[in-house]
C-alpha cells in the first residue's frame, strides 16, 4: 500500500493504491461508533453538569459537532483516554459568534438544526462541497412546523441546501410527525428539538431506523417511550422541557467501520481475523446478516452489553460467497454498508440484486453511481437501476485493477474510498484511489489498520 499527495495546490488530497499482499490475520479494534459519538456529545452538552465519554470517535465529523457545541456554550475537553463535557442544560444554548462549518458531516448539521430549532438563537451552518449538495428539506419541513424559520441556498434542481440559517423559536410548538423517509437523522432532529419544547413531541416511524437517540435519551433521564401500533409503526413520544442528568458513556466500535475489514477478510483467501468490541445493535447489523446469507463465515463471539448497546467480537474467515436477492426492507439497518456490500457482490458467485436504495443517491456522494462507475472500471458486470445495483460477481477471480492514471473517484465520500481500498486487495494489479483523505471523517487510521492486518500474516 502506498500513498502520495497528488495535487500541489490542494495538499489535503491524498491518492493511494491498494494491492493484494496475502491473507489478513490478527485481532483489531475499530474507532468508536460515529452515530453514538455525535449523540454522546450533544446530549452531554444538554445535561446539567459533567459527563465523561470514553471510546469517542475522534474523526473529523464528530470533532465538527464538538466545535459547534463549544461555539454554542458547552465546555468540551479531551483528556488522555476520555472526553469531558460540561453541559449547559436543555434550553441553555447560546448565540454563536459566527457561522459554523460542519465540513462533510450530514449527521452534525441535521441533528444540530434540530437542537437550534427550539432555542431563541439564530445559527448559520456551512459545509464542504459534498455536504452543500445534500437535501435539507427533510429536516426543514418538520422543524418549520415546530416554528423555526430557515433561509437556505436553493440548488439548481430546486432543493434547500447549505449554507443555511436556522432561527429557532422558544417556546417551540410540539408536533406529531410521520417520517416520509426512513431517516434516523430526521427522527433525531425532531426529538432534539422536542427536548426544549413544552408538551409531547411525537415521531411516527413506519420503517425502523437506528435507535441510538431513543436509547440514549432514556439513559440521560428524558421521559421518552416507544410503542408499536397495530400496523407495525414505531410511535416515539418525548415529554419536552426535559432535564437531562450527566452520564458516564462508553462508545462501542462502529459496525459501519468494522464492515471494511470484515468484508476484506471474507474476500482475501487465507484470511482469519477478529474485530473486537463492535456494536451489533439490530438496527445497524444488516450487513452481517446479509454476508452470512451469502455464505460468509462470520461469527459473533463474546456477546455482551456496553453502555446499553449490544456488542460482540466478530470472527471472520475467508469464505466463498454466493450472490443473493437483498430484501429492500433490510436496507435501513445497513444503509451505510451498501458500498462495501457491492464489492463483496462483485467477487461472489452469481447475481446479487439490491433495490429500495434511492436514499444512497443523497449520501456523501451518489453512492449508486460512484460504486457502479468504479466497479465497472475494475471489470465487474454491473447494471445500475434507479434504486439499486444488480451485480454479477467474478466467483473469487481477482478483479482487473485500475491503472495508475485512471484512479477510482471517491467524490469526497469516505465509504466509497474505503470500499475501493478493500476491492484493491482482490485485484490482479491493485486499485489506485484518487483521494483517501475523506476517511478521516469516520475512520482515522484506516489505511494503517489494513496494512497491519496484512503484515501480521507475514
Q: Which residues bind ligand S3P (CB under 6 A)?
A: 35, 107, 183-185, 188, 210, 335-336
CA gap 109, 343 in Å, rounded? 29
Closer by beta carbon to ligand S3P, 313 or else 413: 413
**Cis amide leading into 292 (omega within 30):** no
At its nearest, how many Å lie between ligand S3P and the CB of residue 363? 6
∠ Cα 248 252 256 (to 5°): 145
At its nearest, how many Å lie between ligand S3P and the CB of residue 304? 23
DSSP conformation letters of 300-317:
EEEEEEETTEEEEEEEEE
CA gap 66, 161 in Å, rounded? 22
At its nearest, how many Å lie between ligand S3P and the CB of residue 63? 15
Identify the active-site residue in 33, 254, 336, 413.
Answer: 336
Closer by beta carbon to ligand S3P, 62 or else 375: 62
- The answer to whether 14 and 437 are in contact (CB under 8 A) is yes
At its nearest, how many Å lie between ligand S3P and the CB of residue 140? 14
Which helix H or strand E contains 274, and what residues bound it? Answer: strand 272-279
The DSSP letter of residue 433 is E
The residue ranges of DSSP E strands in 363-442, in sequence order, are 381-385, 388-392, 431-433
Closer by beta carbon to ligand S3P, 364 or else 434: 364
Please state the separation of Cα 373 from the chain's center in Å: 22
CA gap 245, 89 in Å, rounded? 9
Closer by beta carbon to ligand S3P, 181 or else 406: 181
Three cell numbers, residue 336:
451505510
First-residue to last-residue Cα distance in the chain: 15
At its nearest, how many Å lie between ligand S3P and the CB of residue 352? 21
Catalytic residue check, 435: no
Closer by beta carbon to ligand S3P, 24 or else 191: 191
Which residues fall within 8 angstroms of residue 440, CB to CB, at 6 or more apart?
59, 60, 414
Closer by beta carbon to ligand S3P, 358 or else 429: 358
Three cell numbers, residue 257:
467501520
Catalytic residues: 336
Amino acid at each position: 500500500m502506498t500513498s502520495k499527495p497528488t495535487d500541489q495546490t490542494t495538499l489535503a488530497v491524498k491518492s493511494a493504491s491498494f494491492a493484494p499482499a496475502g491473507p489478513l490475520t490478527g485481532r483489531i479494534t475499530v474507532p468508536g461508533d460515529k452515530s453514538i459519538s455525535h449523540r454522546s456529545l450533544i446530549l452531554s452538552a444538554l445535561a446539567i453538569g459533567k459527563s465523561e465519554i470514553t471510546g469517542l470517535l475522534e474523526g473529523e465529523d464528530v470533532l465538527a459537532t464538538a466545535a459547534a457545541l463549544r461555539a454554542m456554550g458547552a465546555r468540551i475537553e479531551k483528556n488522555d483516554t476520555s472526553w469531558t463535557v460540561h453541559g449547559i442544560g436543555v434550553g441553555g444554548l447560546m448565540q454563536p459568534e459566527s457561522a459554523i462549518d460542519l465540513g462533510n458531516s450530514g449527521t452534525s448539521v441535521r441533528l444540530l438544526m434540530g437542537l437550534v430549532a427550539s432555542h431563541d438563537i439564530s445559527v448559520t451552518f456551512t459545509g464542504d462541497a459534498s455536504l452543500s449538495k445534500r437535501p435539507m428539506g427533510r429536516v426543514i419541513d418538520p422543524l418549520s412546523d415546530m416554528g423555526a424559520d430557515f433561509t437556505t441556498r436553493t440548488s439548481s434542481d430546486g432543493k434547500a441546501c447549505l449554507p443555511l440559517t436556522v432561527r429557532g423559536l422558544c417556546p417551540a410548538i410540539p408536533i406529531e410527525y410521520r417520517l416520509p423517509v426512513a431517516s434516523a437523522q430526521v427522527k433525531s432532529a425532531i426529538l432534539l428539538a422536542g427536548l426544549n419544547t413544552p408538551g409531547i413531541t411525537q415521531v411516527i416511524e413506519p420503517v425502523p431506523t437506528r435507535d441510538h437517540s431513543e436509547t440514549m435519551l432514556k439513559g440521560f433521564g428524558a421521559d421518552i417511550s416507544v410503542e408499536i401500533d397495530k400496523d407495525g409503526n414505531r410511535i416515539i413520544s418525548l415529554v419536552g422541557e426535559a432535564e437531562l442528568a450527566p452520564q458516564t458513556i462508553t462508545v462501542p466500535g462502529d459496525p459501519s467501520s468494522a464492515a471494511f475489514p470484515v468484508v476484506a477478510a471474507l474476500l482475501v483467501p487465507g484470511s482469519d481475523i477478529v474485530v473486537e468490541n463492535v456494536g451489533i445493535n439490530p438496527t445497524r447489523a444488516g450487513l452481517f446478516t446479509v454476508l452470512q446469507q451469502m455464505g460468509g463465515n462470520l461469527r459473533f463471539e463474546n456477546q455482551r452489553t456496553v453502555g446499553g448497546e449490544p456488542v460482540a467480537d466478530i470472527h471472520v474467515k475467508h469464505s466463498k460467497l454466493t450472490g443473493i436477492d437483498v430484501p429492500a426492507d433490510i436496507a435501513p439497518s445497513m444503509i451505510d454498508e451498501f458500498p462495501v456490500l457491492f464489492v463483496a457482490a462483485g467477487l461472489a458467485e452469481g447475481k446479487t440484486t439490491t433495490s429500495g436504495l434511492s436514499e444512497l443517491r443523497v449520501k456523501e456522494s451518489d453512492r449508486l453511481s460512484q460504486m457502479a462507475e468504479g466497479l465497472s472500471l475494475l471489470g465487474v458486470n454491473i447494471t445500475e437501476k434507479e434504486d439499486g445495483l444488480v451485480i454479477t460477481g467474478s466467483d473469487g477471480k481477482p478483479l482487473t485493477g485500475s491503472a495508475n492514471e485512471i484512479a477510482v473517484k471517491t467524490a469526497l465520500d469516505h465509504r466509497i474510498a474505503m470500499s475501493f481500498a478493500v476491492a484493491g486487495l482482490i485485484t490482479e494489479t491493485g486499485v489506485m484511489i484518487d483521494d483517501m483523505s475523506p476517511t478521516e471523517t469516520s475512520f482515522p487510521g484506516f489505511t494503517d489498520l489494513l496494512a497491519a492486518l496484512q503484515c501480521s500474516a507475514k
